[in-house]
Structure 1
Amino acid sequence: MIRGPSQTLDVAIAGAGPTGLTLALALKAELGPSLRVAVFDPALGRALPRDARASMIAADGRLLLERIGVWPDDAAPVAGLRITDSRLEAAVRPTFLELGEARADGAPFAHMVFDAALRTRLLERARAAEVDLVAQPIESHSEERGHVRLGLPNGGEAAARLLAAADGAGSPIRARERVPTYAFAYDQTALVATLAHEAPHRGVAVQHFLPGGPFAMLPLGGHVSSLVWSERRPEAERIAQSDDATFLREAERRAGPDYGRLSLAGPRGAFPLRFVLARSFVGRRLALVGDAGHVVHPLAGQGFNLALRDVAALSRIVAAAARAGEDIGSDAVLDGYESARRFEVASVATATDALYRLFAAPGTRGLRDVGMGLVDRAPALKRRIVAAASGL
């Protein structure tokens, strides 16, 4: 399973989360079973944790996951998005912007997928595709002639022509490589849960912009929604530590009357929010993928979609180089990946942060509402927003 420099891997991937596993399978789909790819992560030796999170996956992400054979049958289509902006105590929350149009081909612009279920399917598919799954961390790496040497626990070694870091927001590989990174913590924590509710959601995602932060109910199957609730840190910590009854009571205050009574349909979780943007997504025989290169506020649901677009770009560029007989870890190949991803990632990251600051700033509510109302009355602009959200 572990190959030394004389039997060099084509690609070593650090991190067995959805991003790393998707990359391994996308490369296999592009280049076939002869590709030597391994995923390294000590978590592979442990049972999957319970995870309350679900992801909104855009249309281009769905196409990628279908191509590698992991699209879940129970993915829930998102038929539309309704945005409100109000005070917490408001009895009525008028809709200022509604995106209800499907794409031109009639398909929804996004689907909701449970993160834990997707990772289970990815692991099953990776084993079937003969991806090496190594339950060890990459403790060191160094670029040498024609490959990168990987240091493993207890003196073990491996080598690869290309190292892809999909090891998360706190990426040890990015830190060892000393990639300059712009990063800061938001004064918010995301509370997540799966909630059952009395009234139907009709496939519509709802996002309330409240003084404490955005409160999103994202439609799953039946009368169930995924809650992504950003709240100021002190209040979020109080609610996170409360019992289930208090948590649901606070959630009902923010959800408003449209859902009826809420109940828990899965585990709860809490995650501090931060912004991370690496100044470069590449190094010598190294590519940063997903959260290792960028982390954005969840208010626009773009985090995992950006990661899937990283995967699509890197797998396509590496495959083209391999078919042309080029060195897949060369600077020229990695510069192509940097060029393909830098503009979109930087644009989405800065736009998402600007939206957060606009909605967090006191005294801007009237301006926000006028702006959303103007967009709501511009069908052509709304169609462009839906097209952008779909990634196609």
Structure 2
Amino acid sequence: MPEYKQFPLADTAEGLTEAEILGWRIKPGDEVTVNQIVVEIETAKAAVELPIPWAGVVTELLVEPGQTVEVGAPILTVDVDPGGAAAPAPVTNGSAPADPQAAEEEMKPLVGYGSKTVVAKRRPRKTATATPEPVSEPVPEPEPMASVHTVSAPRGGYVPLAKPPVRKLAKELGVDLYDLTGTAEGGVITREDVRRAAEPASAAPAAPVAAGARERRVPVKGVRKATAQAMVASAFTAPHVTEFLTVDVTPMMELRQRLKTSPAFAGVKLTPLAFAAKAVCLAARRTPDVNAVWDDSGATAEIVYKDYVHLGIAAATPRGLVVPKIRDADAMSLVDLARALEDLTSTARDGKTTPEAMLGGTFTITNVGVFGVDTGTPIINPGESAILAVGAIRDMPWVVDGELAVRKVMQLSLSFDHRVIDGQQGSQFLADVGALLADPAVAITF
């Protein structure tokens, strides 16, 4: 007899309360094995793949892609004893199994993902009786099981087939998938099908547009929601001060060219950001206040000084802004920092940054220069006291030894928490970073 278990959404990171279902890797009827990846979710920090702790046959997907689910809520039902001899767990009106041990097993979160107790709710199962009672009205068709391609309830028995990203795109562009015919194998609707449907017909006359018809509303969730909450909390908690410095970095760029031909840097992508990271770590030794944090969680407020630098690097990704950390960056050489930055950015770009990689930072660099921007006033990340913005490097006129010359020039801006860092300390740190970038040989004096 079948034995059903419901898989709850696990707590994949400290403090996680909800997550969005990005896409299923399985469908009803599939056999699954222990630790097989079955679903990809997006938390407030990153996209995460979840394995299942049991083997069995998938009987029902309880949540569709795009839905946001609270931690502990059941998202999947599995028959862990298909065709076996185990007695079925009685279910009445969608209640939990009567067997306490089965209920306890069903409510356990995934191993390693926290100890939150889960109250699982089972959808009612339709059971056939030996002698059905007569009915006076037509019996409705059974509700279809959710599928990775199912985008909404069927109309007239037809369900359009589209993968979760295509479904999301159709929602954003206001395209009804029921109006489309999929061009991919099996009639699956593609992104191109959706985009073609969204394009206005060239021969059609312009129709009056109602107010709001050319607007799109996108729910705030996932990384965007977490970023917004963190930035608001920081901006209205820490008194921000921002200072600016323009630096001639011609010597740094010349050193970069020489190092790129050095065997020690063979195969390493040496960027100006790597020099900025090294300068921050060196300058923090002389001004440790920038690597401290204000803590008022106890009865008395404290300033906590960190004797290590977990360097956060703000990275723009398709899912929004993330800030993964380079652990113990202050203990790394320039070549090690360059390698770490390359790994960090490629991982973030692919959307594979783990939630753990974004915890516990002590200082952050945001490289606005990659967008051609000169400078800005960055907001401090919660749990830190300072953030450095690195601007674009441009050829500009500069006075050298009383003569006008064309030099490589960049702008730096430092935002800091005035509760922890005074103007003198912030200015000294920014000046040190600028000096190290203007003349890397200064590093031997630190």
TM-score (norm 1): 0.21
More helix by share: 1
TM-score, with structure 2 as normaliser: 0.19
Rg bigger for which structure?
2
- Higher share of residues assigned strand: 1
Q: Higher RCO, 1 or 2 (CA under 8 Å, sep at least 6)?
A: 1
